[in-house]
Structure 1
Amino acid sequence: MIDLNVDEWTQEEFLRNKQVLEEKGVKVLLIDTILNPIDGAQTTLYAPPLLKAEPSGSVFVFYCDTGKSSKERLGEFRAKFPNHVCISLRGGRGYWRKNLRI
């Protein structure tokens, strides 16, 4: 069972949970808050009007360079997107390993 009531996911948790959740029909998006996409990963630019249009229950995993700012802003993200699950990517873009596969 995937715990969606957490503040952070590691890259490995993100990749594993995304696979399981999407098999169940839940959309999982990696959200770029710094205008700097991650090489080898499908990212979505942080654009609140577009994100609000995503299906209710979708999981948004926000990232910044180090993971610190996105974690600190979780309260803001959760207030802005009450119908979605908001999580921060631990370590952010800096800890992303492009060769890590699940």
Structure 2
Amino acid sequence: MSYPNEWNQREFLQNKKRLEAEGIKVLLIDTILSPIENADTVVYNPYELQKEPKGSVFVFYCDSGKSTLERLKEYKNKFPLHHCISLKGGRGYWRINMTVFDD
């Protein structure tokens, strides 16, 4: 799969479900120390993230998605064995009750 620079919440939820069914780990990374309610997030810790399986997908978020998109190149250089994506709209556009269903 080719990974874009950004996923919106719907794309994140759909791709997470599909990729994890294929055995690929997808993590929502909190870069602002502000977890998203009802979402399984991981605090940004480069040392711990390096331990994740090769090919894992890291989706970074901030308040608006702008900072993580600007730093995406830095994340990709820091985690060359993983796929790095920015969450479009960040925490501000996250809808707590959004879910995805099988087609």
Unaligned runs of 5+ in 2: none
Task: Give 4+ residue runs of structure 1 displaced > 6 Å after superposition.
Answer: none
Measure, in 2, the Cα distance between the counterparts of 1:83 and 1:20: 20
Measure, in 2, the Cα distance between the counterparts of 1:12 and 1:101: 8
Matched with 1:3 is 2
Q: 1:34 corresponds to which residue?
A: 32
Match of 1:22 in 2: 20
2-structure distance, mates of 1:101, 1:3: 24
The TM-score with structure 1 as length reference comes to 0.96
Q: CA deviation at 1:3?
A: 3.5
Identical-pair percentage: 61
Q: Which amino acid aligns with 2:14?
A: R
Structure 2 distance, partners of 1:44, 1:21, is: 18
SS at 1:40's partner residue?
coil
User: RMSD across aligned C-alpha pairs, in angstroms?
Assistant: 0.7
Q: Which amino acid aligns with 1:58?
A: S
Write the distance in 1 (CA, Å) between the matches of 2:52 and 2:97: 29
Q: How many angstroms apart in 1 are the aligned matches of 2:6 and 2:42?
A: 18
Normalised TM-score (structure 2): 0.95
Provide the C-alpha distance between the structure 1 equivalents of 2:50 and 2:84, rounded to a whole number of angstroms: 12
Deviations 1:33-52 (A, max 9, x none): 00000001000000000000
The number of residue pairs the alignment matches comes to: 100
Residues 47-58 of structure 1: pairs in structure 2 closer than 5 A: 47-58=45-56
